[in-house]
Amino acid sequence: MHITDIMQGDSPTFSFEFFPPKTPEAAEILYQTIRDLELYMPHFISVTYGAGGSTRDLTHDLVERIQHTTKLDPIPHLTCVCHNEEEIEAILGRYARSAIGNILALGGDRPRDIPYDKSRDSFQHAVDLVKFIRRFNESGAHPDCRGFGIGVAGFPEGHPATPNRLVEMDHLKAKVDAGADYMVTQLFFDNRDFFDFRERCALAGIHIPIIAGIMPITSMSGFKRIAELAGGARFPAKLLRALQRCENDRVGVRRVGVHFALEQCHDLLDNNVAGIHFYTLNRSDATRVIFDSLGIPRRRSVQASAI
């Protein structure tokens, strides 16, 4: 289903993110998570994309498996890193044949365990990938005449590679002008960052839907990983104080993290957020608690794909 069909009306969307499993045990956890969350009828789910070849194949396989064996609507990530135009065109063709409706076009993280020369990439920035997908759409190769819906990333706390916030907004506007249809933000823990970012987007003439990325903290080790992976996420003192009170209590840490994320979601919904995207880390328990506590009625059915 195209993103314009998913995001029709004034109601916010709810969606989840998964990453491809690397072991049979991880695969079992993931598919149980998918079964658990399928009952919630999310508007879509996204599937991340690594820098190495084998994990990329896992992404493609997982996306197609979700598309063909569940009622969920998968949106695969696609990155610039370690790719040429022929490879990207082949992936887009594969997804088009499977009637995948949307793509999330990202710059991508530098690979840590393989030699990497960015100058060899056909796409130096996400805007180049957006333009390429738009040209693919115009070729008529997708069964939907609109082609893929194209999503891009937003950074409420600022892009770690672009300290100049004015230049950062110019880059984001360029992606939108190149054809982006929607935006999913990096995780954040202070809603004021999101609201300010949304307002700055409007001032810059960016008027596509902005979906807020939320990651509940469920453990102290996970908390420390988030700080590293998010490129310097800002943790409000209120959250840090609560975590310090119970840092040696696993259940307490999870309770604090879920409660904080729930408060974030209530505030976002009260302020007309276009959608909330949950970073699940391939587990469903915290996300299900939050979703149930928000009091949102589950959608009774998933619309058939318009493709």
Active site residues: 17
The two three-digit tokens of residue 36, written as one number: 């658990």
Tokens 């823990």 correspond to what residue? 189
304: DSSP letter? P
Do residues 281 and 21 lie in contact, with contact meaning Cβ atoms separated by under 8 Å?
no
User: For residue 188, how far is the Cα from the chain centroid?
Assistant: 13
| Kind and range of the H or E run holding 47 | strand 44-47
Burial grade of 54 (CB within 10 A; 0-12, 13-18, 19 or more): exposed
Alpha carbons 182 and 8: distance in angstroms, whole number: 12
Q: How far is CA 179 from CA 122, 135, 150, 152, in A?
A: 19, 10, 7, 10
For residue 268, what are its two tokens?
Answer: 């976002």
Residue in 197, 211, 218 with CA at minimum distance from that of residue 265: 211
